[in-house]
Amino acid sequence: MKNNAIMKHAAAVGIFVVVLFAVCLIWKVTITEPEVAAFHMNALKTAFPGFKWYDVASILWGGVLSFVYGCIAAYVFHGLHKNCCKLKE
């Protein structure tokens, strides 16, 4: 039962990180300074290996990696804090 709660939490965190990735992609459109735009692209390429530019494959790969990173972070958090999701029985 507790493992199911951890999986739900991991999925929720993964979806939240995908939304943050989408906000990051949308934010790129608003950047007007070339130095900031170059830094932003380098940060995306560093965080998401295989991310090249704003094409469909890169965006999908970034979304998949965002979800995986969020799930891993949730599992690590629950591994370190074992009593954070006590269920009523």
pLDDT at 2: 63
| Three-class DSSP category at 48 | coil
Tens of pLDDT, residue by residue over 29-59, are: 888 899 998 998 888 888 887 778 788 988 8
Q: Which residues contact 28 (CB under 8 A, 6 or more apart)?
A: 37, 40, 41, 54
The pTM score is: 0.78
Res. 64 pLDDT band, cuts 50 70 90 = very high
Higher pLDDT, 67 or 40: 67
Among 68, 61, 56, 52, smallest CA distance to 13 is for 68
pLDDT at 86: 61
pLDDT at 79: 81
